[in-house]
Amino acid sequence: FSNLRGRGVWRYSQAIAGNYKKIISINEGGTPLIRTRTGKEVYFKFEGANPTGSFKDRGMTVAISSAVNEGYKIVVAASTGNTAASAAAYSARAGLRIYLVLPKDKVAIGKLAQSILYGATILEVEGSFDIGMKAVIKLYKEMGLVYPLNSFNPWRLEGQKTIAYEITEEIGVPDYVFVPVGNAGNIYAIWKGFSELMNLGIIDRIPRMVGVQAEGASPIAKAIINNQEAPQFVENPETIATAIRIGKPVNWKKAMKAIKESQGTAIYVNDAEIMEAQRELARTEGIGAEPASVASFAGYKKAIEQGWVDRDNKVVMILTGHSLKDPDSMIRSSARRIVVNPDHLENIILGDLNASS
């Protein structure tokens, strides 16, 4: 790593496949790796610090650069929201026309607002993300002139693998990496990053990859837990973590390979555990992440409880998206909000002091 320059995704350009005459970048990557306040070797990789607030920007800079270099003028993506926001921003910067296929009424408001702001055309479909995904695959097979930005696009994963490089450069190889899993591209990308470092002889082992799904959308976790070769897809996925409300993950094979080859595992967490993890992360660590993102933290807590991860293990949790993506989820948190007479604010504080003394 010692002769690399710059920061962010393109710091690792030697390891990113493809030739780019022109790179479309908004300075993505280089996100903070935040150590837990307890001082243990437990870290949060805060992908909310990317330009559009999620890890998707890492892949989008590579995919959009590739689209531009190949001469495409029109791009398309199905999304639960974050891919949409990211694709819209990078397309705007590249001067491309973008169509987004979104599940109607199931995209968190912050993400929808971003997609509107960046000027995308928004096509809403009834039902889940999976229906949009299928439509995009069909469209791209039938209409060669549209470039697909979903994570079956290998360039996306090339960018996302830099998460592994950044972690290694900063703290070496963790014992475990916890990753929220939806369409299942990211866990594979991160594993690929670590594997490449090992093949280059830069590291001598890779971390166990732990995929965390939401219970109502957990085909991969259930396949791993039940030792099945392939997942049973979920027809009507449901979870408060709308970003990972996906029943038929396109990259399931890749994800299961990453999990197995790293001797990792997968688990699922329910919506209550997700919301509790979101609150705890915010109120004890001061870190705000959207519900899907904190699946990694909820999964870690479960692993500690079940005893297969130790508090002294070196662990990284990927927090995939910013809390502001989904204001509705935050407002659902228990809050202390008091209507007061503005002349008597001190009464509240004095009352608290009396109560605690």
Q: List residues binding ligand F0G (CB under 6 A).
A: 54, 56, 79-83, 151, 180-186, 243-244, 290, 292-293, 320-321
Q: Pick from 268, 213, 221: which is nearest to 246 by CA?
A: 213
User: 59: annotated binding-site residue?
Assistant: no
Going by C-alpha positions, the residue among 25, 27, 28, 26 that lies closest to residue 47 is 28
- Residue 279 CB burial class (10 angstroms; 0-12, 13-18, ≥19): middle
What percent helix, strand, coil does the chain show, rounded to 5?
Answer: 45, 15, 40
Nearer to ligand F0G, 10 or 178 (CB): 178
Residue 182, marked binder: yes
150 is an annotated ligand-binding site residue: no
H or E stretch covering 214? strand 208-214
Structure tokens at 95: 């001067």
Nearest residue (CB) to ligand F0G, 25 versus 239: 239
Q: Which is nearer to ligand F0G, 96 or 220 (CB)?
A: 220
Q: What tokens were used for 193?
A: 């990053």
Consult the annotation and say whether 27 binds a ligand: no
Strand order across the 176-180 sheet: 33-35, 42-46, 315-319, 176-180, 208-214, 265-269
State the minimum distance, in angstroms, from the CB of residue 317 to ligand F0G. Answer: 12
Between 80 and 168, whose beta carbon lies closer to ligand F0G?
80
Quick one: 56 or 248, whose CB is closer to ligand F0G?
56
For 174, left (φ over 0), alpha (ψ -120 to 50), or beta?
A: beta
The nearest distance, CB 96 to ligand F0G, in angstroms, is: 18
Can you spell out the DSSP letters for 18-43? Answer: S--SS---S------EEEPTT-SSEE
- Is 183 annotated as belonging to a binding site? yes
Q: How far is the CB of 289 from ligand F0G (least distance, A)?
A: 8
Contact residues for 13 (Cβ-Cβ < 8 A; gap 6+)? none
Compute the least distance from the CB of residue 321 to ligand F0G, in Å: 3
Cβ distance to ligand F0G smaller for residue 94 or 250: 250
Cβ at position 201, least distance to ligand F0G in Å = 28
Using DSSP, state whether 344 is helix, strand or coil: helix
In angstroms, give the least distance from the CB of 115 to ligand F0G: 11
68 vs 181, beta carbon nearer ligand F0G: 181
Q: Is 185 annotated as a binding residue?
A: yes
Q: According to the annotation, is 303 in a ligand binding site?
A: no
The answer to whether 238 and 184 have CB atoms below 8 angstroms apart is no
In whole angstroms, the minimum distance from the beta carbon of 266 to ligand F0G comes to: 11
Query: CB–CB of 155/59 below 8 Å?
Result: yes
Indicate the annotated binding residues.
Answer: 82, 182-186, 320
Indicate the annotated binding residues for pyridoxal 5'-phosphate.
Answer: 82, 182-186, 320
